[in-house]
Structure 1
């Protein structure tokens, strides 16, 4: 691997790291040489995924439920007891809720906004001391928030809380990027379009739905695992050292 993209000697935390986009990024980081902690609420999934990725490098399980403040505080305390600094934080854990407009429940809004926005803020807040210790003028610490093209486009698919939650995350990221840059912490957003995940499985497994969905993407296909990992590595490595406050669509042109 070219040294511009090496993560050798760096430590990363990926929330929601046991499947989908989180696992793609975690695997890429491990392969790039980082020590990677993966977080999810299912302890067994954490253990299994960490064992799988440890065949490629150093990956460690750190189970936590980020849906509430107590779980976020517990994550921060547990990680601080194991490491002295955190070079890279990837806030990937998220959720969605779909229902017709007339019956869309308040519970859906609360759940989606809590995990997709409030919990991300809480994770950054709790892990800020570790990020501050890692960041230098030469090599800033990195926060990479996983947004969505749903926060850029008006393509809602009856998931009324999801797009607004991601738009809020994009704006939160810009605010934090401006505030934390002087502390040598870069904050950027990856805004994915379609990638294989549990959230998109219902489309991938329906031939007609997949064809209709793909027709909306100028490149005519979904994203690939290696493409997601490569972008995250770029933001986390020397390649991303002079970038902060960016919202980067990776969507095959969908947001156009």
Structure 2
């Protein structure tokens, strides 16, 4: 990993939604670069499997819980305080996809997605701020969907837009403590959730719409999160980093 291998030596990082996909890849990246990492997830068995896969002994703490449940968040912060005493990095990654026409969204689905994509991020940040060391870093997982409108994604895109703006607002609020808050906006990314939630047609057409001619990997996103959380990004604050292979800003030659 070269010169970046020790960027997080002695640092303590929290990754919500850390049992698979982008969360698990980010936890692995931070561990590889020297951090101790706390991972969370609602499925205890999957979380324990992820922790075993990560290895690293006492440098990994797996705390099962729902990031949208304030009681679970209080249990999480108590466990972090007991084991490590502080946090240096928070990757608010927990969330879900939700794709249906606006007239098909029920009230129950509305609140389910709001809870998972917005409430969980908001209160994860609120509850971890007292543990976060001055000059620490928060990274929020948003989505390329905040940068364009697509049919069938009104609810999902609205929740991601909310946390996209939350990053900027909290960046202003925490600036006096030197805490930086940024977001990443992944494009199409090969995760278990993508293959579970995207239609076969979307999966087939995704790579063709990306100038990089491929969909992203969880490791692509993990590298971006690690950069934003590292000292190398010490002058980057309130920024959204698109990790999308040019999806939003570049038109593939085949589409011209």
For the criterion TM > 0.5, the same-fold answer is yes
CA distance in 2, matches of 1:211, 1:67: 33
1:3 and 1:149, CA in 2 relative to 1: closer, same or farther beyond 3 A? Answer: closer
* 1:170 and 1:247 in contact (8 A); partners too: yes
Match of 2:145 among 141, 150, 159: 150
CA distance in 2, matches of 1:155, 1:20: 23
Partner residue, 1:141: 136
* 2:17 and 2:39 in contact (8 A); partners too: yes
Does residue 166 of structure 1 match 2:160? yes
- 1:125-151 Cα offsets, whole Å, 9 max, x none, are 1111110xx22xxxx201000000011
Number of residues of Structure 1 aligned to a counterpart in Structure 2: 248
CA distance in 2, matches of 1:119, 1:205: 26
Partner residue, 1:211: 204
After the TM superposition, which of the residue ranges 228-237 and 242-251 deviates more from structure 2? Answer: 228-237
Partner residue, 1:193: 187
After the TM superposition, which of the residue ranges 143-152 and 109-118 deviates more from structure 2? Answer: 109-118
Write out aligned runs for 1:222-237 (5 A): 222-237=215-230
* 1:4 and 1:238 in contact (8 A); partners too: no
CA distance in 2, matches of 1:177, 1:105: 33
Q: Specify every segment of 5 or more residues in structure 1 that has no aligned partner in the other structure, as ranges.
A: none
The Cα of 1:196 is off from its aligned counterpart by 1.3
- 1:7-50 Cα offsets, whole Å, 9 max, x none, are 11101010000101111111111111110111101122221111
* 1:148 and 1:190 in contact (8 A); partners too: yes
1:57 and 1:234, CA in 2 relative to 1: closer, same or farther beyond 3 A? Answer: farther
CA distance in 2, matches of 1:160, 1:19: 25
SS at match of 1:188: strand
CA distance in 2, matches of 1:209, 1:188: 28
The Cα of 1:63 is off from its aligned counterpart by 1.1
1:57 and 1:72, CA in 2 relative to 1: closer, same or farther beyond 3 A? Answer: closer
* 2:143 and 2:185 in contact (8 A); partners too: yes
Question: With structure 2 as the length reference, what TM-score do the two structures score?
Answer: 0.90
SS at match of 2:115: helix
Question: With structure 1 as the length reference, what TM-score do the two structures score?
Answer: 0.90
1:238 and 1:4, CA in 2 relative to 1: closer, same or farther beyond 3 A? Answer: farther
Runs of 4+ aligned structure 1 residues displaced above 6 Å come to: none
Partner residue, 2:121: 120
Write out aligned runs for 1:17-166 (5 A): 17-54=18-55, 58-131=59-132, 134-135=133-134, 140-156=135-151, 158-166=152-160
* 1:5 and 1:239 in contact (8 A); partners too: no
RMSD, matched Cα: 2.0
SS at match of 2:64: coil
* 1:203 and 1:209 in contact (8 A); partners too: no
SS at match of 2:219: helix
